[in-house]
Amino acid sequence: MDSSNTLKMKLKEKYITASIISIILLTTNIFAFGIGAPYHENNPLKISPGESVIINFNLQNPAGKDLTVRPSIRQGSEIIEFIDSSDFIVAVGDSIDFNARVTIPSNAQINSIYPIEVTFTTVEKAEEGRTLGLGASVGRRFNVEIIPISEEIPKEEPKLPTYFTKYQLAIILGIIIIIILIWFILKKKNNSKKIKYKK
């Protein structure tokens, strides 16, 4: 086996290894960025005309790298506002609470519904602070139901739904195992080619 073929095989192995590592990192970042909130599509916020309430969104970054996150309101801007609308950083292995305020007009009609949708998108920035591009995003969508002032609102705080389920973790582990198996198969194939060339 001549030196040119040996060089080609080494470059091919390095390319395959780099591709697998990139896929693993990309998969980890996509699944790692999560959000928790007390309200969702099956649990609306019930509030009366003229009232205001603070909603807490919990952003989670358990793996990967530090993330710069940009909040945005896609629907419901007439009643919801971010208390701090600037970009913020969620360090790897950490979570951060992000607050928004929902304010209902005093003349809002009883039984009316306001749909709300907010998103949080990762932002890639250069050292000088310029935005290079937008990455993965997570969001939360829920309805705000207007109820009579006399109607009692349960005082119990709704539980934050867990973003990472056992099913999602199983998918992540499955993808990683498949990638490792592919890597071993390709490596074994390359080794068999080396033995063949030596003969």
Would you say residue 142 has pLDDT above 70?
yes
One-letter amino acid for residue 159 of the chain: K
Within its chain, how far is the Cα of 40 from the centroid?
16
- Would the CA dihedral through 19, 24, 27, 28 be positive or negative? negative
DSSP string of 2-57, one letter each residue? -HHHHHHHHHHHHHHHHHHHHHHHHHHHHHH-EEE-S-BTTB-EEE-TT-EEEEEE
Total domains, the chain: 2
**Residue 123 belongs to what domain range?**
34-163
- Do 24 and 43 belong together in one domain? no
- Do 171 and 139 belong together in one domain? no
- Do 124 and 77 belong together in one domain? yes
- Do 129 and 110 belong together in one domain? yes
Would you say residue 198 has pLDDT above 60?
no
pTM of the entire structure? 0.59
- Do 86 and 135 belong together in one domain? yes
- Do 59 and 133 belong together in one domain? yes
CB atoms within 10 A of CB 46: 15
- Do 24 and 117 belong together in one domain? no
- Do 175 and 156 belong together in one domain? no
Would you say residue 93 has pLDDT above 60?
yes
Strand duo 80-82 + 131-146: pairing? unpaired
- The string of pLDDT tens digits covering residues 16-30 is 554 554 444 444 444
- Do 59 and 99 belong together in one domain? yes
Strand duo 45-47 + 131-146: pairing? parallel
Tokens 């801007």 appear where?
77
The whole-number pLDDT of residue 4 equals: 61
- Do 66 and 158 belong together in one domain? yes
- Do 17 and 83 belong together in one domain? no
- Do 52 and 126 belong together in one domain? yes
- The string of pLDDT tens digits covering residues 31-84 is 457 888 899 999 999 999 999 999 999 998 887 788 889 999 999 999 999 998
